[in-house]
Chains A and B, each alone.
Chain A
């Protein structure tokens, strides 16, 4: 396998890891107004993701950084083409990040309410926008010769893009509900389980529709038809989705969360493999697509980056795993009682 292909696959894996990790804390943020009935419960929800969300979000920074480093051509066209959508994503993430720190420091109910709303929007919009963005990437965006974007923000809001947005929102909601059913106790946990049960049919329907829509609206299946062995990848999201229901039914919530992680990673990998060897297909003419060949860095840069990634990513995984283990307890009222808590 050549360096460009290795980096293409790593690029896909990074996005998948990001969606799996930030997916559940974005989901928790979206679920908060539904699941938490009072201020204590809201704080329990915040604290359930408190030690992790920041580290999770760095996977996004790294996915962006790797796009810049390994495929600067794609980074340039992707970010300038999706200008308004990305700015919206950015502002949402800014507000969400701040809300963790600022919400607890508001003394009035109104101040807290404001930051709760901001936290909800800061969780919902990234889920939606990432879904819309990735569905558009799967479909191809109107880039002309020289990487010039020929659309507007509204070009992205096409039916297929929006379907991707809905899929991401539902998948992250499910992921968050399953996470909460592992991390909380009592009435809160019961509510989270119930939400997961109710969400599942909706997620199933949207996922099936998205898959069918993909066959109609995109060329994503072409790679799969050319190499039928690749259909194994499609088993990930499909199998994950089925197993979620099985595990929720038997109340094995950690297993259900894992199945949900497989589903989310599976959807991302399914799309990424479908667009190979382009990172950003052009809907105008495949000749204008940003591909491994026309957008990657020099072999030297790719080699150095590979050495850095092979050294440091395992270390990152080790210490992040340690953090998850250290804070693996269930979050209860006791945890929000002391003054450092959110």
Chain B
């Protein structure tokens, strides 16, 4: 394999692994902050116990989120040095701002929170976790603005053989990025709600600490339900934007080959990329694709055949990832709604509780699929319409990348196993008395 393919695999591995931990960090930090704030307000010790218990699971997850994030900053330089040089004027500052306004705060306050139980006043201690939650979500904003530039480049001019910053306000108010931010954040919050519900369900099935886990479950269910709705609504508007700005991605998401007005959506389709068609196409709902993409049943939706083959994203991955994302995204709000509705009578629904335990991986899968749609669907561009991925890779020897990729796989597998083991162990232990 060449340096390009190896670097792509390495970046994919690093991103997906990083994004196992990030969503839970984003949402659980808020949930823990809510619990501890409630403790400070009411003085009810159960909320303190809740903050400590969920906080411990948060910390195990957080540690891996941080270290795998550092990997990504490194990789832009090590593996994508031509990209770094070409758009560094715009992309670099966003990462630097993220570090100085958000990451510093998050990393400093997490230490305060862990070690400050005995050293700080209740109020200051709760403030520390609120700052962690705020900073983590602010951090995500800057990263997504950076990603938003890759999806929909704005605010730059071509000068001196590279993209140079021209309009900082346009760069950071990129509507594509803000839509994506809402989509990513709501998915992360939903995932965190499902995590809390799933773990609580395990204990409720065993009648452990029923009051503690009922309250936890309720918090998780409310959180998950609200944000699964935001996710679905936001996802629709985000889809409209993709249709307008990245028509090739939209066509790949739907495996839509022929440009047409009143484009139907097929409930059953099977992409056949080699022959540039769908091998199966059935149960078409007339005009639905046009409507979903442009809020107008008569709108014309561009097909893949209207793009030069070298400008088309890989269809199968994008198509299937999109279906996994949407399928899971449709199922989860229903599960969350049921839990929220029946939150006071959960003991009557052991089947549902068992289901919720097994549902923990679903939002993870949905989110990973969502990123695959976003990133694979953007190919062959690293920066949409501006720079191709193949022109972005570092001039390094493939053997170096192969070696580091192998190391990544081994190390990440090792860390992933220990992390899941520890999460499960401390989740099962229950709160400390």
Contact = CB atoms under 8 A, between A and B. Distances in A.
B432 interface: yes
A338 B96 CA distance: 37
Contact of B78 (A72, A73, A87, A95): A87
A308 B165 CA distance: 15
Nearest to B131: A319
Contacts of A57: 107
A138 interface: no
B85 interface: yes
A286 interface: no
Contact of B89 (A47, A64, A298, A313): A298
Contact of B101 (A91, A300, A308, A341): A308
Given A64-B73, A87-B404, A300-B164, A327 B115 contact: yes
Contact of B394 (A83, A90, A93, A339): A83
A79 interface: yes
Interface stretch (A96-104, A166-174, A230-238, A252-260): A96-104
Given A58-B103, A94-B68, A105-B60, A86 B166 contact: no
Contact of A340 (B88, B95, B114): B114
B426 A73 contact: no
A68 interface: yes
A304 to B, nearest CB: 5
A40 interface: no
Interface string B72-87: 0110111101101101
A301 B165 contact: yes
A84 B74 CA distance: 12
Contact of B108 (A66, A73, A94, A320): A320
B245 interface: no
Nearest to B162: A72
Contacts of A316: 100, 104-105, 108
Nearest to B63: A101
Nearest to B71: A90
Contacts of B101: 308, 312
A148 interface: yes
A75 B63 contact: no
A interface, by DSSP: helix, strand, loop or mixed?
helix
Q: Which of B70, B71, B401 has the most CB of A within 10 A?
A: B70
Interface string B92-123: 11011111110111011011101111111000
A77 interface: yes
A285 interface: no
A15 B88 CA distance: 20
B78 A51 contact: no
B413 interface: no
B60 A90 contact: no
Interface in A276-301: 297-298, 300-301
A326 B9 CA distance: 44
Contacts of A84: 400, 403-404
A319 B92 contact: no
Contacts of A95: 411
Interface string A211-248: 00000000000000000000000000000000000000
A51 B115 contact: yes
Contacts of A73: 85, 88
Interface in B48-82: 52, 59-60, 62-64, 66-68, 70-71, 73-74, 76-79, 81-82
Given A90-B71, A312-B100, A55 B117 contact: no
A196 B98 CA distance: 38
B74 A90 contact: yes
Contacts of B422: 102, 105
B103 A300 contact: no
B420 interface: no
Contact of B92 (A65, A101, A308, A338): A65
Contacts of B373: none
B308 interface: no
B93 A305 contact: yes
A102 B407 contact: no
A308 B84 CA distance: 21
Interface string B383-402: 00000000000111000110
Interface in A302-334: 304-305, 308-309, 312-313, 316, 319-320, 323, 326-327
A316 B160 CA distance: 35
Given A80-B81, A338-B117, A339-B432, A68 B112 contact: no
Given A61-B70, A68-B84, A316-B104, 10 more contacts: A72-B84, A75-B77, A77-B85, A79-B74, A80-B77, A80-B395, A83-B396, A84-B403, A100-B63, A312-B104
7 nearest A-B residue pairs (beta carbon): A72-B88, A79-B77, A69-B92, A68-B92, A76-B81, A65-B96, A80-B81
20 contacts: A50-B114, A54-B110, A61-B70, A65-B95, A69-B92, A76-B84, A80-B79, A80-B395, A83-B394, A93-B67, A98-B63, A147-B85, A149-B395, A297-B93, A298-B159, A304-B93, A304-B168, A313-B100, A327-B119, A340-B115
